[in-house]
Amino acid sequence: MVGSGGREHALAKVLGRTADVVVTPGNAAIAGSTATSVEDLVALGSVDLVVIGPEQPLVDGLADRLRATGVAVFGPGADGAQVEGSKAYMKDLARAAGLPTARYGAFTELEPALAFLQSLPGSYVVKTDGLAAGKGVLVTDFLADAEADVRDKLAGSSFGDAGRRVVIEEGLTGPEVSVFAICDGTRAVCLPAAQDFKRVGDGDVGPNTGGIGAWSPLPFVADGFIDDVARRFVEPTLAELRQRGIDYRGVLYAGFMITAEGPKLIEYNIRFGDPDSQVVLLRMTSDLAAMLFAAAAGDLTTVPPPTFADDAAVLVVAASEGYPAAPRTGDVIQGLAAAEAVEGVTVLGAGVKANADGAWVTAGGRVLNVVGRGPDVATARARAYEAIGLLSWPGMHHRSDIAG
């Protein structure tokens, strides 16, 4: 497994139920972490499957380089990775596949970009075309703010080259829902829906983060939603990718907004959500390693459909001071053992490392993912917050309204 965050901690735990897992580089919290590179591990000859966690190495072609050595890889090649690596590519794919999505335009020049903004009905979304660690998106009701953001992005002053092309969209409203589709190039299996909380502050205020809380299952999602997503979004997308010569083996993570007109696709990502997939993966009761191996081998029909515990999971991120703008690191984490002892709680290490004494210290913005599970959402939530209350370091903060 390649990666080092809370997502990889959850994946390593669930894969570890049925497989021997080594994580590179991993982190202090993840058993089986190693500094040896994935290339060197594969060269040893005992690796059956590589699972690539984050998007950047996929965009950079790591899956292609590893597949060329003959090993099975769960994660798309650089061709499929454009689905996340370029928002303009994703929107064009959505249009070609006929998927409901927000009206948009892609621009490298200022004047047509401003003209398109002025044609929109009053809620504006400006995205960097390239990867920006989940932070390249402005959503605003103010035209002047959207115009200023377009100028900064196109000039390269706010996001460097990632912003030299922008995608401008009409703003949609409604709850957001994440669906993870496990794809074998031809077929897909969709996991239960989760919801991610993006804004740093209670009541959805403040800047966007990479995701600061999550829960699953979602009581507001209609029966049949997942089947509808598979039929109307994921299958046409895989067909369009195949048409473009792309054999997509990995997760297709679809982010939806449930609007008054039904679900609309906001984004595709090429990897599991972080932290939104943790609340799905930890509830899985079937063999994840076998399923990802089958997908990597190109035939999901060789494994039974996945199964999940009939409970609820609520995840609260414990973040460091200054996150998301400028996270402070290096603080010793207190209360870990007590938090982990709370019934139904799993503490995932996201931005952590060990200091010289072996204690965990903060090493990133999103430090810990505290996951509470229980027979219902209220219990899962109470357990997560009980554990959060036992953790501390200077400047630690969290939202207090996740799944509330």
Where on the chain is the footprint of ligand AMP (CB under 6 A)?
A: 102, 125, 127, 137, 139, 169, 171-172, 176, 198, 208, 255, 266-267
Under 8 Å between Cβ of 91 and 107: no
Which among ligand GLY, ligand AMP, none contacts residue 102 (Cβ within 5 to 8 A by kind)? ligand AMP
Residues 284 to 343 in contact with ligand GLY, rule: CB under 6 A:
none
- How far apart, in whole angstroms, are the C-alpha atoms of residue 106 and residue 112? 10
Which among ligand GLY, ligand AMP, none contacts residue 266 (Cβ within 5 to 8 A by kind)? ligand AMP
**Which of 344, 323, 345, 327 is CA-nearest to residue 391?**
345
- How far apart, in whole angstroms, are the C-alpha atoms of residue 216 and residue 239? 29
Minimal distance in Å, beta carbon 199 to ligand AMP? 8
269 binds ligand GLY (CB under 6 A): yes
Question: Is the Cβ of residue 16 or residue 171 nearer to ligand AMP in the bound state?
Answer: 171
- How far apart, in whole angstroms, are the C-alpha atoms of residue 50 and residue 68? 13
Taking CB under 6 A as the binding criterion, the range among 105-113, 162-170, 269-277, 288-296 that sits at the site for ligand GLY is 269-277
- How far apart, in whole angstroms, are the C-alpha atoms of residue 268 and residue 94? 9
Tell which one of 53, 210, 250, 351 touches ligand GLY (CB under 6 A).
Answer: 210
211 binds ligand GLY (CB under 6 A): yes
Question: Is the Cβ of residue 274 or residue 331 nearer to ligand GLY in the bound state?
Answer: 274
- How far apart, in whole angstroms, are the C-alpha atoms of residue 197 and residue 195? 7
Under 8 Å between Cβ of 393 and 362: yes
Minimal distance in Å, beta carbon 169 to ligand GLY? 17
Question: Is the Cβ of residue 284 or residue 361 nearer to ligand GLY in the bound state?
Answer: 284
24 binds ligand GLY (CB under 6 A): no
278 binds ligand GLY (CB under 6 A): no
Other C-beta atoms closer than 10 Å to the C-beta of 36 total 12
Question: Is the Cβ of residue 100 or residue 171 nearer to ligand AMP in the bound state?
Answer: 171
Which among ligand AMP, ligand GLY, none contacts residue 66 (Cβ within 5 to 8 A by kind)? none
196 binds ligand GLY (CB under 6 A): yes
- How far apart, in whole angstroms, are the C-alpha atoms of residue 396 and residue 388? 10
Which one-letter DSSP state was computed for residue 141? S
258, containing H or E segment: strand 249-259
265-to-141, 253, 274 alpha-carbon distances in Å: 20, 11, 18
Under 8 Å between Cβ of 334 and 347: no
Applying CB under 6 A, the residues found at the interface with ligand GLY are 134, 196, 210-211, 269, 273-274, 276
